[in-house]
Structure 1
């Protein structure tokens, strides 16, 4: 694998985490992107890339549920915005004030399945 391919793979993993952060934020794409200092166009381009990468891996016969250990990402949010951290078993999620109760219930159910 070339260095450019490795860089792209790392960037795709970083944006996979960013996509998860957006989806759990309860914000609109426009508002989330404004808070992160990026354009919605950039977000959507990388979201397509992440989803395309998942599709390629599935097509190669790999499960979409494969878990790998990744280095700790640089936080996209200012830690002072975090309200609390919820840990269930060995999994955890940071909670933010703008999270609604329905999203919180969904996240707790997902964590229990881990």
Structure 2
């Protein structure tokens, strides 16, 4: 496949990029050139003995030259509202019900943890 650009055109574009003040990434983005293509041009040109300036350290980061500006609206602090109170479950209400087939186990808040652990291990589980 024939190259889209001549060696001289590639050299001119690389020099334009390096003297633009933009990062290689931003310059390539603005000129619709893949960065991988651009860097292969640089490698080719250096291999052929062309004096291509190195990119600066800051250009290694793909940072836009224009910062994003966001307008913030400052509002007065709103009064804190108390968190909703979740009613506790009374001992007459079932806290947990496990049903396996026709068997049903109801666990209440005041259940003995040791007894619950023994029941669960009998069922093949752990607590």
TM range (shorter): 0.3 to 0.5
Relative to its length, the structure with more helix (as a share) is: 1
What is the TM-score normalised by the length of structure 2?
Answer: 0.35
Indicate the structure whose relative CO is greater, using CA pairs within 8 Å and at least 6 residues apart.
Answer: 1
Flag the structure with larger Rg.
Answer: 2
